[in-house]
Amino acid sequence: MKKLITILSLAVVGFTFAQENEPTFKVTGSVDAYFRANLTSSNDGDANTILGEQGDFSAFNNDSGFSLGLANVNFSYEGEKVGFVADLAMGQRADEYNGAGNIVNEAYMYWNATDKMTLQMGRFNNWMGFEELSAAKNFHYSMSHMYSFTARNFNGLVARFMLANDWGLGLGLMNPVNVIQGNQNSSGAYSIGAGVWKGKTGLSILASQETSYIDFKTAFDVSDSFSVALNAHIADFKDGGDDYQTIPLGGDVFLHEGFTSISAYPQFKTSDNLSWGMRLEYMMFDMGAFFVEDGLNVFSPTLTANYTVGALTIKPELRLDAASEDVFYDNDAAAAGGLTAFNLAAVYSF
């Protein structure tokens, strides 16, 4: 009997070990919706743009009243050596990020060629900064100006290497920034990306024909309940960048030359269910004589609370955009240098 029990035990252990090495298919995602109200301006939509011209100054949740944000479903089949990720996103937030009707947010395959090298090929979102498209992956509901105006998507091949002492190195060869289909790359041009990191600290660069980006980020825990993240991002557009990276003004589209963004993200956890966070972003747009010769600067402090109830997170948020020029409207439809808005978002993760 003892021998039989031993044999059965070994069989169970062996079966469990085999199961752990089998590829796993997972379905995860989130759904979010929000309410927005402008406190220092009207709620007709024009207040969120530069003097009411076309295009939103701050992207992704500009509609006043109640609105859908995003329905996001992530399929992954991850094995020890190979696997894939397919991230599908639908809703207003996805339409503004990827273009209306384009539900494929990310789709890529990977191969762990060795225990130190991973190859990844396909379409994937920008890895710079701390913010992502899915509201479930961000502490704040509204997005920074850096996220609104920087590169969004890449399509290409990336190699990641794990080096000694927990250092990492990444190298990528991709289509030009935001060219996500091969038939759009008629010029035969490509972009090159590289990055190094250690733990939560990383530096990355990207050169893509007429645009280039440099990004530095780090994060650290001050205590068990208090943490801080820092991000600095420089973008150079030269000949203007993509459509969403422009600032509309006076009926004409002004193509600014780039920007510098410096952000701090302090967060404080007050209980198991409640956390508070600030995003302190200072954005410096490089402008020309068309509008402001010396540039446009915007300081955007954003205070957000995250209250969790199971898989549901409630996010009340107060945001101020204070600009160096009168580029917003006040309640009397007069040009003003600031805009204060309140958001209340609900995010369910599965």
pLDDT of residue 8: 40
- Which segment of 59-68, 155-164, 220-229, 263-272 scores lowest on mean pLDDT? 59-68
pLDDT of residue 263: 98
Closest by CA position to 242, among listed 174, 175, 179: 179
More confidently predicted of 14 and 223: 223
Q: What is the 3-state secondary structure (H, E, C) of the chain?
A: CHHHHHHHHHHHHHHHHHHHHCCEEEEEEEEEEEEEEECCCCCCCHHHCHHHCCCCCCCCCCCCEEEEEEEEEEEEEECCCEEEEEEEEECHHHHHHHCCCCCEEEEEEEECCCCCEEEEEEEEECCCCCCCCCHHHCCCCCCCHHHHHCCCEEEEEEEEEECHHHEEEEEEEECCCCCCCHHHCCCCCCEEEEEEEECCEEEEEEEECCEEEEEEEEEEECCCCEEEEEEEEEEECCCCCCHHHCEEECCEEECCCEEEEEEEEEEEECCCCEEEEEEEEEEEEECCCCCCCCCEEEEEEEEEEEEEECCEEEEEEEEEEEECCCCEECCCCCEECEEEEEEEEEEEEC
Tally of residues, the chain: 350
pLDDT higher than 90, residue 2? no
Q: How confident is the model at residue 69 (pLDDT cuts 50, 70, 90)?
A: very high
Instruction: Out of 99-113, 143-157, 302-316, give the one with best mean pLDDT.
Output: 302-316
Cα separations in angstroms, 74 against 26, 86, 104: 8, 6, 10
* Tokens of residue 96, six digits: 């503004």
- Which segment of 23-27, 121-125, 177-181, 244-248 scores lowest on mean pLDDT? 244-248
As a whole number, mean pLDDT of residues 152-167 equals: 93
pLDDT higher than 70, residue 315? yes
More confidently predicted of 193 and 20: 193
Q: How confident is the model at residue 255 (pLDDT cuts 50, 70, 90)?
A: low
Q: How confident is the model at residue 1 (pLDDT cuts 50, 70, 90)?
A: very low
d(CA 60, CA 95): 9
Q: What is the CA radius of gyration of the chain?
A: 23
As a whole number, mean pLDDT of residues 210-232 equals: 95
pLDDT higher than 70, residue 136? yes
Q: Which CATH number is associated with domain 30-349? A: 2.40.160.10
Residue 325 CA, chain-centre distance (Å), reads: 27
